[in-house]
Amino acid sequence: KTLCASGFHAPERGLIDVLEDVLIDIGADGTIKAIHRPGEPNYRSIREAREETGELVVLPSGSYLLPGFVDLHVHAPQYPQLGGALDVPLEVWLQKYTFPLEARYEDLAFAQRSYRLLVDDLLANGTTTALYFATIHQEATRVLVDICLERGQRALIGKVAMDNEDECPPYYRDSSAKAAIDGTRAIIDYIRFHPENGDGRVHPVVTPRFIPSCTDAALKGLGALAQECGCHVQTHCSESDWAHGYALARFGATDTEMLDRFGLLGRRSVLAHSNFLTASDMERIRVREAAIAHCPLSNAYFANAVFPLRQALEKGLHVGLGTDISGGPSASMLENSRAAVLVSRMLASGVDPALPPAERSTAGVAQIDFRDAFYIATTGGGIALDLPVGQFQPGYAFDAIVIDTTAEKGSMRLFDQVEADDQILQKIIYTASKANIATTWVGGLKVH
Ligand code: GUN
Ligand code: FE
């Protein structure tokens, strides 16, 4: 089919491509075959031909097409806790709330219910690709894989590996490094050979929770497994002052250095948070072409820091945006995009009114705008994952959402004043809500 639409995407950082009445040809395999713009000489004839064959679908006015969001950091099992348990520091939060909740996924009926609600909520929020931490459980992780395939969400899923007795409670840990590694391998095979996964919509991910929760043997074995399978890797990196200090105390080295030594830092690695990176950590991540999942809302609650996003982007690091459900209290990538702008403004201008303005900020030039937020929520996530998603380009998957600015219950309104260029996108980023998301497509299929 061919879609005629107006909308926006961000092919490069700082560059919003405004699409007006473009024709997007979508192949039977769900990828974009061609994009025709009204200025092109054959536009009119192509449009007429598509109309005649009945292949043309025209978006109504007031509706805008955006690439689907790429959520680069989600803890699927923490969905029941979304919007709660935000009162204590990370190391307390894990033991007090999060490990007990994740342990409940031993119960498959609970897993089914919770994961269905989550995946449907994320699709309704316009998240077409999600990078998921599951739990330590084989069976429940398979349930999440099955639900993503059933609902049609593009997903990257890892069984969480955590075997360190000193940091993980007896009721919720892998029984040994070998169990963590073998369990990870079993899920990789389950995903790769799944009969419903012929189009590769779901990918496996090697998932050491974070350095404190893993023994050296597990980290080493998982690094070797990631190299052997060529699959993605996800973990938490230098998140809070406590987590960052933990690796320094155990190894005399940073998380980034240790992940590299264990073979866990490569082109398909995604490091969540990464707030406390040193300059040489950043350089190491850049050279390895690994990526960072920026989680602005979560960082405000758990990290005691703001990630220097603009600095990382200007250095050329790969960065995407993550909700970090439930460390972050919103499943919405729109809300997290706004939060990314907000925290960057506070980092840039400083927050201590006792200081004179010139001395308030210690961060230098830190401010980003809605264009950068939109970029990391879409294109940046696709680049981070090394997948052809997040942009409207031939060869890319048609993963897209429709923002209906006339939606009755939506929080966004456009009045009849003329909005130039990317100003409508700015309003979408700042004011649109889930109720404005009329349609979600993944791989050309309507999934919401
Ligand atoms: N570090 C280790 N586990 C977690 C988690 O579940 N959430 C966050 N935000 N940080 C972590
Ligand atoms: Fe997290």
Cα-to-centroid distance, 294 and ligand 2 (Å): 10
Cα-to-centroid distance, 129 and ligand 1 (Å): 20
Q: Looking at the structure, do residues 20 and 155 belong to the same domain, yes or no? A: no
Place of tokens 């987590």: 243
Expressed as residue numbers, the domain containing 50 is 2-67+392-446
Phi, psi of 38 (to 5 degrees): -55, -30
User: 47-62, pLDDT tens digit by residue?
Assistant: 999 999 999 999 999 9
Tokens of 396: 């890319």
Last residue of a domain, one of 385, 401, 430: 385
Cα-to-centroid distance, 90 and ligand 2 (Å): 10
User: 115-157, pLDDT tens digit by residue?
Assistant: 999 999 999 999 999 999 999 999 999 999 999 999 999 999 9
Q: Looking at the structure, do residues 380 and 396 belong to the same domain, yes or no? A: no
| Spacing of C-alpha 427 from chain mean position | 22
Ligand 1 atom at shortest distance from the alpha carbon of 210: 2
Q: Does the model's ipTM exceed the 0.95 cut?
A: yes
Q: How many domains does the chain have?
A: 2
Amino acid occupying residue 30: G
- Cβ count within 10 A of residue 54: 8
Tokens of 239: 């998140």
Angle between helices 138-151 and 108-124 (to 10 degrees): 40
Among the listed residues 202, 184, 229, the one whose alpha carbon sits nearest the alpha carbon of residue 131: 202
Cα-to-centroid distance, 290 and ligand 1 (Å): 19
* Closest ligand to the CA of 132: 2
* Closest ligand to the CA of 323: 2
Cα-to-centroid distance, 324 and ligand 2 (Å): 5
Place of tokens 């806790």: 81
3-state secondary structure of 381: helix
Does the beta carbon of 294 lie inside 6 Å of ligand 1? no
* Closest ligand to the CA of 299: 1
pTM: 0.97
Does the beta carbon of 210 lie inside 6 Å of ligand 1? yes
Amino acid occupying residue 214: C
Which residues pair with residue 442 across a beta bridge? 445
Residue nearest to atom 11 of ligand 1 (CA): 236
Q: Looking at the structure, do residues 203 and 320 belong to the same domain, yes or no? A: yes
Q: Looking at the structure, do residues 191 and 261 belong to the same domain, yes or no? A: yes
Beta strand pairing status for 318-321 and 291-294? parallel
Residue nearest to atom 9 of ligand 1 (CA): 327
Tokens of 144: 């999440």
Give the C-alpha separation, 348 to 297, whole Å.
Answer: 17
Residues 6+ apart with CB under 8 A from 229: 185, 188, 204, 206
The per-residue pLDDT for 355 is 84
Last residue of a domain, one of 385, 407, 434: 385
Ligand 1 atom at shortest distance from the alpha carbon of 239: 10
Q: What angle do CA 244, 376, 434 make, to 5 degrees?
A: 105
The per-residue pLDDT for 363 is 65
The per-residue pLDDT for 221 is 98
* Calculated CA dihedral for residues 321, 264, 289, 238, nearest 10 degrees: 50
User: DSSP letters of 135-166?
Assistant: -S-HHHHHHHHHHHHHHT-EEEEEPEE---TT
Mutate to test the pocket of ligand 1, among 74, 75, 91, 92 (most ligand atoms within 8 A of CB): 75
Does the beta carbon of 209 lie inside 6 Å of ligand 1? yes
The per-residue pLDDT for 414 is 83
Mutate to test the pocket of ligand 1, among 239, 292, 336 (most ligand atoms within 8 A of CB): 239
Cα-to-centroid distance, 175 and ligand 1 (Å): 20
Q: Looking at the structure, do residues 97 and 219 belong to the same domain, yes or no? A: yes
* Closest ligand to the CA of 243: 1
pLDDT along the chain (448 residues), means of 10: 97 96 98 97 97 96 97 98 96 98 98 98 98 98 98 98 98 98 98 97 98 98 98 98 97 98 98 98 98 98 92 97 98 98 90 80 83 98 98 98 94 79 94 98 98
Does the beta carbon of 232 lie inside 6 Å of ligand 1? no
Does the beta carbon of 99 lie inside 6 Å of ligand 1? no
- Beta carbons of 7 and 21 less than 8 angstroms apart: no
Q: Looking at the structure, do residues 63 and 137 belong to the same domain, yes or no? A: no
* Calculated CA dihedral for residues 372, 6, 124, 440, nearest 10 degrees: -110
Q: Looking at the structure, do residues 119 and 235 belong to the same domain, yes or no? A: yes
Length of the chain: 448
Q: Looking at the structure, do residues 340 and 263 belong to the same domain, yes or no? A: yes
Tokens of 435: 């109720």
Does the beta carbon of 324 lie inside 6 Å of ligand 1? yes
The per-residue pLDDT for 412 is 92
The per-residue pLDDT for 362 is 66
* Closest ligand to the CA of 240: 1
Query: Which CATH number characterizes residue 41's domain?
Result: 2.30.40.10
Q: Looking at the structure, do residues 51 and 150 belong to the same domain, yes or no? A: no
Cα-to-centroid distance, 327 and ligand 2 (Å): 6
Does the beta carbon of 75 lie inside 6 Å of ligand 1? yes
Give the C-alpha separation, 350 to 447, whole Å.
Answer: 42
Query: Which CATH number characterizes residue 174's domain?
Result: 3.20.20.140
Q: Looking at the structure, do residues 243 and 109 belong to the same domain, yes or no? A: yes
Cα-to-centroid distance, 340 and ligand 2 (Å): 16
Give the C-alpha separation, 214 to 358, whole Å.
Answer: 44
Residues 6+ apart with CB under 8 A from 180: 136, 161, 162, 163, 174, 208, 214, 218, 221, 222
Place of tokens 């009204």: 38
Q: Is 215 exposed, middle or buried (0-12, 13-18, 19+ CB in 10 A)?
A: buried
Q: H helices then E strands: how many in the chain?
A: 17, 17
The per-residue pLDDT for 204 is 98
Q: Looking at the structure, do residues 29 and 163 belong to the same domain, yes or no? A: no
Q: Looking at the structure, do residues 371 and 439 belong to the same domain, yes or no? A: no
